[in-house]
Structure 1
Amino acid sequence: MTIQINSNYLEKYGKEYASIVCEGFFASKKYMTGQDIIQLTSSTQVNFFIIKRLFELWQDELAKLKSNPYFDYRDIAVHEALTQFMNVLSRRIKVERAHIEPLIETAVIQSIQLATDPVWYYQSEIEGAPEGKINEYLKENKKYYKWHDRVITFLIDKAGFGHDKSEYLRAISANYQVVKDSLESENLLLATFGDIKAFNLDAYRESVATEEPRKSTASHENDSSTSFFDQMDAAEDTPSKNEGKEEIKEETPKLEKEEPVFSTPKTNDRGNGASLNIAALKSRFASESYNGMKGVIGDLSESLAINQRFMFTKELFDGNSDLLTHALKSIDECRNFNDAIDLVNSRYVNELNWETESEPVQEFLLLIYRKFDDV
Structure 2
Amino acid sequence: MSNKFHQSVLTEYSRSYARRVCADFFSNHTFISGKQILTLTPIGQINLFIVSNLFDKWKSDAEKFRSPYFDFTHPEVEEAMRSFMNVVSQHIAVRREHLEPMLADALRKTLTLIFDPRYFFDDLLRNQPDFTLTSDAAKQIVRYTQINKFVANYLVERMNGKPFMYVNQALNCLDEVLSQRGHELEKYDRYVAILSEKVPIDLNALLRTSPGVANGSPARSFFDTELESDNTGAQSPNVGGAAEASGNQPTDLSSAPLRPTLLTETGQRTFSPAEPPMSQPAVPADSFSDSPGVGVQFSPDESDRYTREPVAAPVAAPVSQASPFASGTLSQSPSFEAPRLSADSDSRSGTGEPTSVAEAFHRAPIESIGKSISLNQKFRFINQLFSGSSTSYAQAIEELDQMENYGQALDLISYRYASQYLWDMSSDEVSELVEILKRRFA
Query: Which bin holds the TM-score, normalised by the shorter protein?
Result: 0.5 to 0.7
CA distance in 2, matches of 1:73, 1:134: 24
Note if contact 1:45-1:145 (Cα within 8 Å) is conserved in structure 2.
yes
Matched residue type, 2:171: L
Pick which of 118-127 and 130-139 moved more. 130-139
Output the amino acid matched with 1:147: I
Residues 57 and 17 (structure 1 numbering): CA distance in 2 closer, same or farther, change over 3 Å?
Answer: same
Aligned with 2:189: secondary structure?
helix
Q: What per-residue deviation string (whole Å, max 9, x for no partner) do you get for residues 259-303 of structure 1? A: xx9989999xxxxxxxxxxxxxxxxxxxxxxxxxxxxxxxxxxxx
Would you identify which runs of 4 or more consecutive aligned residues in structure 1 move more than 6 Å?
A: 261-267
Name 1:52's counterpart in structure 2.
52
Pairing 1:206–2:208 present: yes
> In 2 relative to 1, CA 7–137 (structure 1 residues): closer, same or farther, beyond 3 Å?
same
Matches within 5 A, 1:121-140: 121-131=120-130, 132-140=132-140
Alignment of 1:175-214 (within 5 A): 175-206=177-208
Report if aligned partners of 1:37, 1:47 keep a CA contact under 8 Å in 2: yes
Distance 2:154 2:73 in 1: 34
Q: Distance in 2 between matches of 1:34 and 1:49?
A: 12
Aligned partners of 1:182 and 1:207: how far apart in 2?
20
SS at the partner of 2:208? strand
Q: Residues 112 and 190 of structure 1 are in contact (CA less than 8 Å); yes or no, is this contact kept in structure 2? A: no
Q: Distance in 1 between matches of 2:244 and 2:5?
A: 30
Kindly state the Cα deviation for residue 80 of structure 1 after the two structures are TM-superposed.
0.3
**Is structure 2 residue 151 aligned with structure 1 residue 151?**
yes
> What residue ranges of structure 1 are gaps of 5+ in the alignment?
209-260, 268-375
Return the offset for 1:35. 0.6
Name which structure has the greater RCO, CA cutoff 8 Å, separation 6+: 1
> Which secondary structure does the structure 1 equivalent of 2:55 belong to?
helix
Name the amino acid aligned to 2:167.
K
Number of aligned residue pairs: 215
Q: Which runs of 5+ in 2 are unaligned?
A: 211-238, 246-442
The aligned amino acid for 2:187 is S
In 2: Cα distance, 1:187 partner to 1:111 partner? 14
Bigger CA radius of gyration: 2
- 1:133 deviates by 4.0
Identical amino acids, percent of aligned pairs: 25
SS at 2:19 equivalent: helix
CA distance in 1, matches of 2:145, 2:244: 21
- For residues 203 and 178 of structure 1, what CA distance do their matches in structure 2 show? 31
Seen in structure 2, the aligned counterparts of structure 1 residues 139 and 263 have a Cα distance that, compared at 3 Å, is farther
> C-alpha separation between the residues in 2 aligned to 1:52 and 1:162?
21
Partner of 1:80: 79
In structure 2, do the counterparts of structure 1 residues 64 and 20 end up closer, same or farther at CA, with 3 Å as the change threshold? same
Q: What does the per-residue CA deviation read over 1:116-149, in whole Å, with 9 as the maximum and x for residues that have no partner? A: 0111101111112223343320112311101011
Aligned residue for 1:98? 97
C-alpha displacement of 1:183: 2.4
State the alpha-carbon separation in 1 of the partners of residues 137 and 173 from structure 2.
16
Paired residue secondary structure (2:158): coil
Deviations 1:180-199 (A, max 9, x none): 21222122233321232122
Do the aligned partners of residues 82 and 161 (structure 1) sit closer, same or farther apart at CA in structure 2, a change above 3 Å counting? closer
Corresponding residue SS for 1:175: helix
Structure-1-length-normalised TM-score = 0.53
1:20 deviates by 0.1
Deviation of 1:163 (Å):
3.4
Corresponding residue for residue 169 of structure 2 = 167
Over 3 Å counting, the alpha-carbon distance change for 1:205 and 1:144 in structure 2 is same
Q: After TM superposition, list the pairs within 5 Å mapping 1:1-375 onto structure 2.
A: 4-66=4-66, 68-131=67-130, 132-159=132-159, 160-161=162-163, 163-206=165-208
On the 8 A contact 2:133/2:170 being kept in 1, the answer is no
Note closer, same or farther for the CA distance 1:163–1:78 as it changes in structure 2 (3 Å cut): closer
Give CA-to-partner distance per residue, 1:182-228, whole Å, 9 cap, x none: 222122233321232122221112369xxxxxxxxxxxxxxxxxxxx
CA contact (8 A) 1:50 1:107 kept: yes
Shift of 1:39: 0.3
Evaluate the alpha carbon distance shift between residue 157 and residue 90 of structure 1 in structure 2; reply closer, same or farther with a 3 A threshold. Answer: same
Q: Give deviations 1:296-320, integer Å, cap 9, x for gaps.
A: xxxxxxxxxxxxxxxxxxxxxxxxx
Q: Distance in 2 between matches of 1:107 and 1:124?
A: 15
CA–CA distance in 2 between the matches of 1:31 and 1:113? Answer: 28
For the residue of structure 2 that corresponds to 1:126, the secondary structure is: helix
The 3 A distance-change label for structure 1 pair 5 and 73 is same
Q: Quick one: structure 1 residues 188 and 178, their matched pair in 2 at CA, closer, same or farther if it must change by over 3 Å?
A: farther
In the alignment, is the contact (CA less than 8 A) between 1:135 and 1:157 conserved in 2? no
Q: CA deviation at 1:98?
A: 0.6
Separation in structure 2 between the aligned mates of residue 83 and residue 262 of structure 1, nearest angstrom:
48
Distance in 2 separating the partners of 1:76 and 1:263: 50
Please, what is the CA RMSD of the aligned residues? Answer: 2.8
